Amino acid sequence: MDIPARIKEQNGITWKSMQRPIFYLCAIGLLASCGRGGQGQLIGVQNRPSWYQVDPYGMNYIGMGSFVMGPSDQDVPYAMVSKSKTVSVQAFYIDQTEISNNEYRQFVYYVRDSIAKRILGDEDIGYHVFTEDEYGEDIDPPIINWKERIYWDGDDEREALAELFLPESERFYRRKEIDTRKLLFEYWWIDLKEAARKGTAPNWTRDLDLSYTNVKGQNNAIRGHSDRSQFIIHEIIPIYPDTLVWVHDFTYSFNEPMTENYFWHPAYDDYPVVGLTWQQCNAFNVWRTQLMNTWLSYNGDAYINRFRLPSEAEWEYAARGGLDLAPFPWGGPYVRNRQGCFLGNFKPLHGNYVDDGGFHTVPVDSYTPNDYGLYNMAGNVAEWTNTAFDESVYDFDHDLNPEYSYDALANDVPALKRKVIRGGSWKDIGYYMQTGTRSYEYQDTAKAYIGFRSVMTYLGRGKAVNANDL
């Protein structure tokens, strides 16, 4: 169809002259789209950063695998709380040793200094917190300035920080000491299981306004539509260890020197930290994750999986050291080597606590590690796991990364607060050192014989595993 002359020559612009810029714009758009889309092919988002997982300091890599989980020997107390079953566990990292007093002290000092810097920031002493970004926008909550030193003995700062110390009436021989009851760690976590339970609905699509709509007209409890804040849990945890565990755990036993010195004295820096509740161990792992991810973000690197307590299956898999069906981390069935020396710190014979070279706890790198390079997976201190204790869990948990977790509330009945502990301790008999032996303690209690170590799920299928290996 001919184009009317009035349009062809409107404002002195001919149709032929108008065609040229339109053609050029189309050509540029086509070339640009080819550059981004791989000449019309599906090639994925380009220029994504390459990724290589660096082994976290102090942790060993445990490759994915299957093993027979459960007792490798007779059920001495006839507790009937476990039975053998084959399970598979994905690749993960685990601490070589139990978390030591000095490692946990880094967490305590972080919380102490964080509180101090926020107090000093409020008092306008120095520049301890950043309340505005480079654009003058408010930062809420403020960011701590770790580069500025705290002068604990400075006149102005000493007065401002007075509230962190014990009041005069509670001091012993007038010693000015931090009030450890004020060392509170605040954090948030997402209850993914509850979100999955309440947020599942079939057949839903995405509207043009980018909000989710349920095609079948279900209620508003659908993923992406309900208020996500209901699944965000706020925690405030006192993080200082209970040093009185050495006294109240053992009636008619003299352990006052351990209460007075064990956590703070340099002589015990490399001994396993004890006196921690299950919640305090979780708080430590949240802080440890933040510590690592803050550093990675500062260097422009991608985040890693979070540090956490191991599942019961992960702990047992790591403890066995690749020796399936062996009763102890070193193999077995004996607790001594060929020279007659004990291979772990426990209660041998009839109360002869010193025959194994220990008395209470021993340094975290004592004795010979198992074949995965892990120390004291049997003895020294029992270790918290993330798994909730249930006598029948082996009957209903999955064989793929088996785990049974329950986040008990303060007003829940005690039976719901039981968490699995593994490995036995310096005060336990040999039976509890076996890799398949289960026991438990309540999540809100702390003991002189329970510590922990952290794990982290490996990002990917596993090291040196690719399509060419299949």
Tell me which of 64-68, 76-80, 331-335, 461-465 is least confident. Answer: 76-80
Cβ neighbours of residue 145 closer than 8 Å, sequence gap 6 or more: 117, 127, 128, 129, 130
The DSSP string of 21-53 is: HHHHHHHHHHHHHHHHHTTT-----SSPPP--P
Q: At what angle do helices 101-122 and 278-298 cross, to 10 degrees?
A: 70
Mean pLDDT of 11-34: 48
pLDDT for the residue numbered 5: 47
pLDDT for the residue numbered 289: 96
Domains of the chain: total:
1
Tell me which of 159-173, 359-373, 375-389, 418-432 is least confident. Answer: 159-173
pLDDT for the residue numbered 180: 93
Tell me which of 17-21, 56-60, 209-213 is least confident. Answer: 209-213
Q: Count Cβ atoms below 10 Å from residue 384 Cβ, excluding itself.
A: 26
Q: Residue 225's pLDDT band (boundaries 50, 70, 90)?
A: low
Is the torsion defined by CA of 212, 214, 219, 223 positive or negative?
Answer: negative
CA 155 to chain centre: 39
Residue 150: DSSP 8-state: P
The answer to whether residue 3 is domain-embedded is no
Residue 195 pLDDT more than 50?
Answer: yes
The answer to whether residue 464 is domain-embedded is yes
Residue 313 pLDDT more than 90?
Answer: yes
Mean pLDDT of 62-77: 85
pLDDT for the residue numbered 82: 79
The answer to whether residue 153 is domain-embedded is no
The answer to whether residue 169 is domain-embedded is no
CA gap 232, 308 in Å, rounded: 18
The answer to whether residue 115 is domain-embedded is no
Domain residues for the domain of 408 are 67-100+241-470
The answer to whether residue 436 is domain-embedded is yes
Tell me which of 16-25, 68-77, 213-222, 299-308 is least confident. Answer: 213-222
pLDDT for the residue numbered 219: 42
Is the torsion defined by CA of 168, 173, 178, 180 positive or negative?
Answer: negative
pLDDT for the residue numbered 21: 52
| Torsion from C-alpha of 352, 353, 355, 361, nearest 10 degrees | 180
Q: Is the pTM of this model over 0.75?
A: yes
Indicate the SS3 state at residue 248. Answer: helix
Q: Residue 148's pLDDT band (boundaries 50, 70, 90)?
A: confident
Tell me which of 22-31, 89-98, 418-427 is least confident. Answer: 22-31
CA gap 116, 99 in Å, rounded: 25
pLDDT for the residue numbered 11: 47
Indicate the SS3 state at residue 195. Answer: helix
The DSSP string of 52-99 is: -PPPPTTEEEE--EEEEES-SS--TT-------EEEEE--EEEESSPP
| CATH number, domain containing residue 429 | 3.90.1580.10
The answer to whether residue 423 is domain-embedded is yes
The answer to whether residue 23 is domain-embedded is no
Q: Which tens digit of pLDDT belongs to each residue from 233-289?
A: 999 999 999 999 999 999 899 999 999 999 999 999 999 999 999 999 999 999 999
Residue % of the chain over a pLDDT of 70: 84
pLDDT for the residue numbered 221: 42
Is residue 241 within 8 Å of residue 274, measured between CB atoms? yes
